[in-house]
Amino acid sequence: MWEKTMPIEQVREIRGKSSVFLGIGAIEKIYDIANEVKTRGLNKALIVTGKSGYKKCGAWDYVKKALEENDIEYVLYNKVTPNPLNTQIDEAKILGIELGAKFVIGIGGGSSIDTAKSAAIMINYPNKTASELYEYKFTPKKSLPVIAINTTHGTGSEGNRFAVTSILDDGKEFKPAIAYDFSYPMYSIDDPKLMITLPKLQTLYTSIDAVNHVFEACTTSVTSPYSVLLAKETVRLVDKYLPKALENGEDLEARYYLSYAALMGGICFDNGMVHLTHALEHPLSAMKPNLAHGLGLAVILPSIAKYTYKARPEVLADVLSPIIPELKGYKEEAVKVSLGIKKWLHDLGVKETLSDLGFKDEDIKRLVELTFKTPSLDLLLNCSPIKSTEDLITAIYKESL
């Protein structure tokens, strides 16, 4: 068990396309980052965050001081909600334009970081709206630099180019995604100390999000050995450290490895993409904006696992071995895998079905329709290792009720 030998109080830089500072105390890197961006002439910042978490977790004290010490002017947009909306991007954009922002800092989980990435694009397009961006009505060519201060361990957005928003105007119920090469954060911070105030359910749901990212990324039609490698380690670390973090939210070692696992998950799907679980969850949390993304994923994963395993038994037997050790890699094990994942989730505390979340049989037609109609989700469906037919998607929703 090498994890104990790792000096987790020493901050390490994990370099992918984003430079991510990982370790206890990594938030102090904001001083170096602020100093560096100032020397590059980036002297005005738009801060994008939620209502109160950015203060409660302790991040704001550091960020505010770092900006003030370096004479960086800033404006704060702190109205990002879970399952953030396109209108929040537009509001943040206006504040950024009024200030003349030269870079954007996102503080929070995926919702805040994704909204920060989107606002960083939209500031360059004052006459366009975020719904036009997410409905692919125009193709952006640039973004302001983004700094991501991550306070959860699920999204992986701090290490990849993806962003998501919900568009609920005009009865749309869309939750599309975008991914542009200029959207990798310039710098990110993953500090386990900022995560100890994360409530138990969010600890659970965000970690399940990370597991879904890798479950999907290692089984898409565009996966690579790299995604399989990252997937295997992500599942191992979440399986080992999530129960510890649920038992004691202040366990910094558990938070460190969950944070590292989620970062790997983000890089894993930045390379391998995602498929059915995300394509079918987005309509769920678009229809019910109070539904946590990770819970939505958890509820449909057992059914999706059954179908996916049949197509990728060798990969999944290896990747899922920490959770279901006896797998041999035969497609006949598909039902066993579905039940094994269900039990794993149940033991962690996820006992809900789609019905418990308020969905009924008569909602399935709309969910299937949204899966096909939501902009960008067709790309995910095309990455599925099994053909994403209407029958298959209907069956998955039905089995999850």
Interacting residue ranges for Fe ion, rule: CB under 5 A: 209
Q: Using the minimum distance from each CB to Fe ion, give the nearer residue, 302 or 313.
A: 302
Tokens of 216: 């999907």
Report, in Å, the least distance between residue 67 CB and Fe ion. 30
Matching residue, tokens 């999706």: 304
Query: C-beta of 334: minimal distance to Fe ion in Å?
Result: 23
CA–CA dist 98, 54 (Å, integer): 23
CA distance 147 to 81: 19
Nearer to Fe ion, 158 or 209 (CB): 209
Residue 118 Cβ, how far from Fe ion at the closest point, in Å? 16
Minimum distance from CB of 112 to Fe ion (Å)? Answer: 15
Structure tokens at 92: 């943040």
The percent helix, strand, coil of the chain (3-state, each to 5) is 55, 10, 30
Q: Which is nearer to Fe ion, 67 or 383 (CB)?
A: 383
Give the shortest CB-209-to-Fe ion separation in angstroms.
Answer: 4
Nearest to 305 by CA among 282, 324, 283, 285: 324
Q: How far is the CB of 203 from Fe ion (least distance, A)?
A: 15
**Which CB sits closer to Fe ion, 175 or 342?**
175
Token pair for 186: 């310039």
Find the distance separating the first CA and the last CA of the chain, reported in whole Å: 40
Q: Are 89 and 119 in contact (CB under 8 A)?
A: yes
Give the nearer residue to Fe ion in terms of CB position, either 157 or 338: 157
Give the separation between CA 39 and CA 243, rounded to whole angstroms: 44
Compare residues 85 and 123 and give the one whose CB is closer to Fe ion. 85
Report the C-alpha gap between 176 and 346 in whole angstroms.
29
For residue 280, which phi and psi values (nearest 5 degrees)? -90, -20
Report the distance separating Cα 297 and Cα 303, nearest Å: 11
Comparing CB distances to Fe ion, the nearer of 91 and 233 is 233
Beta strands in 59-145 (DSSP E): 73-80, 103-108
Cross-strand partners of 177 = 164
Nearer to Fe ion (CB atom), residue 47 or residue 284: 284
Q: Which is nearer to Fe ion, 201 or 339 (CB)?
A: 201
Closest among 227, 234, 219 to 383, alpha carbons compared: 219
Angle between helices 334-348 and 293-311 (to 10 degrees): 160
- Strand boundaries in 24-157, DSSP class E: 44-50, 73-80, 103-108, 146-150
DSSP secondary structure code for residue 61 in this structure? H
Which residue's beta carbon is nearest to the bound Fe ion? 209
Instruction: Note the helical H segments in 40-179.
Output: 53-56, 59-69, 86-99, 110-122, 130-134
Q: Which is nearer to Fe ion, 67 or 195 (CB)?
A: 195
The nearest distance, CB 362 to Fe ion, in angstroms, is 27
CB of 116 to Fe ion, least distance (A): 17
Q: Give the Cα-Cα-Cα angle 114, 119, 124 (nearest 5 degrees).
A: 140
Q: How far is the CB of 213 from Fe ion (least distance, A)?
A: 6
The CB-of-214 to Fe ion minimum distance in angstroms stands at 11
| CA dist., res. 67 & res. 147, Å (int) | 13
